[in-house]
């Protein structure tokens, strides 16, 4: 029997056991099965409390009900407990109003479990003997085992990971205020700096992406007075392409010049630099496979050279060019037959090495000198 079949059989058996247990509740509503289920539910509730408050597990285990207070700022609730490993330091876990309905369910389950008995602890556990004890880490492990069996694809998050996540959120929402975060978590400020103030990989990636987007947007916007600049599309065959990026209809007696909509900071058109033709008032393009391949090949080379210089320098020099190519391709896509699909197909071909002949020579040269790897 395969491992996959074993997993399916175990998964089915777990669900079947749960169904049988639920049916037995009618016959013995306070039997072992019901008590075990409530124990598991309270253990899961403890994990949700940690995730909502960011409280250390050892503190949550000792929280007492009589310390409840309403938090004026959030209308949530606050409790006090003793953190033994911090030499008896008083900490005050709290949660917002959104968590109150969940906490009410925890209190209802606690009341059912105690069944009239007294306990100061918020999170209680009934042993097989019938005695009430505090919730232990082993109780959390039982919930984990249940989830692993019933929902094997579910990613388990430990109380420590929940706490770290809440701590990181406090740091972000308070603009890096380690003193406030230390008060919320019940840690020293030094512990917060060491373990919570460092941004996560996801946060770092998001911030870097936002930064790079800002650099590119700024580099593009400074070269334009208009957000969209018209593209002249040639629809006849009487004017074949005569430049590596399209068609030029500049009169011999006139110099190249920037098209309307570009600022003085845009790449200056120069007949010796084909990439600058895109910004020239005399530039036009055919909505055909040849010109599309030329533009896509140029775009591919520009993007491939990204790693050869600093981000800011690259953005300043090449992002206006790449943006202009994209703008031209969009306009081609509107008028060419099967425009969008044709452009996507040529992009895939170029990425596979089938560049325009002119730009292929340039690409090979860049590879040989190490600009592109």
Burial of 130 (0-12, 13-18, 19+ CB in 10 A): exposed
Assess if residue 327 is contained within a domain.
yes
> Which of 154, 175, 190 is the last residue before a domain boundary?
154
Query: What confidence tens digit (pLDDT) does each residue in 233-291 have?
Result: 998 777 888 899 999 999 989 999 999 999 999 999 999 899 999 999 999 999 999 99
Higher pLDDT: 366 or 324? It is 324
Assess if residue 302 is contained within a domain.
yes
Assess if residue 206 is contained within a domain.
no
Assigned token pair, 67: 């310390």
Query: What confidence tens digit (pLDDT) does each residue in 104-129 have?
Result: 899 999 999 999 998 888 899 999 88
Indicate if 134 and 187 belong to the same structural domain: no
Q: Give the integer Cα–Cα distance in Å for 94 and 79.
A: 6
Phi, psi of 328, deg, nearest 5:
-65, -40
Indicate if 174 and 239 belong to the same structural domain: no
Indicate if 193 and 226 belong to the same structural domain: no
Cβ neighbours of 157 (radius 10 Å)? 14
Percent of the chain with pLDDT over 70: 74
Q: How confident is the model at residue 197 (pLDDT cuts 50, 70, 90)?
A: very low
Indicate if 217 and 281 belong to the same structural domain: yes
Assess if residue 204 is contained within a domain.
no
Cβ neighbours of 151 (radius 10 Å)? 12
- Please give the torsion angle defined by the CA atoms of residues 24, 26, 30 and 35, in that order, rounded to the nearest 10 degrees: 50
CB within 8 Å of 227: residues ≥ 6 apart: none
Q: Which residues pair with 69 in a beta bridge?
A: 78
Assess if residue 320 is contained within a domain.
yes
Indicate if 189 and 230 belong to the same structural domain: no
Q: Are strands 94-95 and 77-78 parallel, antiparallel or unpaired?
A: antiparallel
Query: What confidence tens digit (pLDDT) does each residue in 217-238 have?
Result: 898 999 999 999 999 999 877 7
Domain tally, the chain: 3
Indicate if 363 and 215 belong to the same structural domain: yes
> Which of 198, 229, 250 is the last residue before a domain boundary?
198
Indicate if 274 and 356 belong to the same structural domain: yes
Find the range with the poorest average confidence among 15-24, 314-323, 339-348, 352-361: 15-24
Assess if residue 331 is contained within a domain.
yes
Average pLDDT over residues 169-176: 50
Question: pLDDT at residue 82 above 70?
Answer: no
Assigned token pair, 181: 């975060």
Q: Are the C-beta atoms of residues 81 and 64 closer than 8 Å to each other?
A: yes
Q: Give the integer Cα–Cα distance in Å for 90 and 68.
A: 14
Q: What is the pLDDT of residue 167?
A: 52
Half-sphere exposure of 125 (CA within 13 A, CB side): 19
Find the range with the poorest average confidence among 94-98, 122-126, 183-187, 306-310: 183-187
Higher pLDDT: 260 or 314? It is 260
Q: Are the C-beta atoms of residues 98 and 53 closer than 8 Å to each other?
A: no
Assess if residue 203 is contained within a domain.
no
Assigned token pair, 244: 């590596």
Q: What is the pLDDT of residue 79?
A: 54
Q: How confident is the model at residue 28 (pLDDT cuts 50, 70, 90)?
A: confident
Q: How confident is the model at residue 61 (pLDDT cuts 50, 70, 90)?
A: confident
Assess if residue 77 is contained within a domain.
yes
Indicate if 337 and 263 belong to the same structural domain: yes
Q: Which one, of 81, 100, 107, 45, lies nearest residue 185 by Cα?
A: 81
Question: Residue 135 belongs to a domain with what CATH number?
Answer: 1.10.443
Indicate if 218 and 363 belong to the same structural domain: yes
Find the range with the poorest average confidence among 34-43, 99-108, 177-186: 177-186
Q: Which one, of 203, 187, 199, 232, lies nearest residue 86 by Cα?
A: 187
Question: pLDDT at residue 325 above 70?
Answer: yes
Q: Give the integer Cα–Cα distance in Å for 126 and 113.
A: 7
Phi, psi of 212, deg, nearest 5:
-65, -40
Q: How confident is the model at residue 80 (pLDDT cuts 50, 70, 90)?
A: very low
Indicate if 43 and 100 belong to the same structural domain: yes
* C-alpha to C-alpha distances, 336 to 234, 318, 350, 357, nearest whole angstrom: 11, 27, 19, 22
Indicate if 192 and 322 belong to the same structural domain: no
Question: pLDDT at residue 304 above 80?
Answer: yes
Indicate if 189 and 310 belong to the same structural domain: no
Question: pLDDT at residue 135 above 70?
Answer: yes
Burial of 349 (0-12, 13-18, 19+ CB in 10 A): middle
Find the range with the poorest average confidence among 166-170, 177-181, 251-255: 177-181
Domain encompassing residue 188: 157-198
């Amino acid at each position: 029997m395969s491992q996959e079949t074993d997993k399916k059989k175990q998964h089915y058996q777990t669900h079947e056991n749960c169904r049988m247990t639920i049916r037995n509740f009618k016959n013995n509503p306070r039997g072992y099965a019901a008590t075990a289920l409530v124990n598991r539910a309270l253990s899961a509730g403890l994990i949700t409390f940690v995730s909502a408050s960011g409280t250390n597990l050892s503190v949550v285990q000792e929280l007492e009900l009589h310390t409840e207070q309403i938090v004026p700022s959030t209308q949530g609730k606050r409790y006090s407990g003793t953190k033994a490993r911090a030499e008896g330091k008083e900490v005050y876990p709290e949660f917002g109003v959104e968590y109150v309905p969940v906490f009410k369910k925890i209190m209802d389950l606690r009341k059912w479990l105690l069944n009239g008995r007294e306990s100061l602890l918020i999170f209680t556990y009934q042993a097989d003997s019938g005695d009430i004890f505090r919730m232990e880490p082993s109780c959390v492990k039982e919930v984990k085992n249940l989830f692993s069996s019933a929902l094997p694809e579910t990613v388990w998050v430990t109380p420590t990971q929940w706490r770290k996540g809440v701590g990181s959120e406090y740091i972000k929402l308070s603009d890096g205020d380690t003193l406030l975060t230390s008060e919320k978590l019940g840690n020293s400020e030094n512990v917060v700096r060491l373990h919570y103030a460092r941004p996560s990989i996801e946060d770092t990636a998001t911030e870097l992406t936002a930064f790079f987007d800002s650099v590119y947007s700024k580099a593009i916007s400074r070269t334009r007075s208009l957000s969209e600049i018209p593209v002249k599309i040639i629809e006849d065959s009487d004017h074949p392409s005569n430049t590596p990026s399209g068609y030029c209809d500049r009169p011999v007696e006139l110099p190249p010049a920037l098209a309307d909509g570009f600022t003085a900071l845009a790449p200056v058109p120069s007949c010796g630099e084909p990439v600058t033709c895109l910004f020239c008032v005399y530039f036009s393009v055919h909505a055909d496979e040849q010109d599309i391949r030329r533009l896509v090949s140029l775009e591919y080379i520009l993007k491939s050279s990204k790693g050869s210089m600093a981000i800011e320098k690259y953005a300043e020099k090449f992002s206006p060019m790449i943006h202009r190519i994209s703008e031209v391709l969009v306009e081609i896509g509107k008028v060419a037959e099967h425009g969008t699909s044709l452009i996507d197909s040529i992009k895939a071909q170029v990425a596979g090495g089938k560049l325009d002949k002119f730009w292929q020579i340039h690409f090979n040269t860049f590879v040989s000198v190490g600009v592109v790897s």
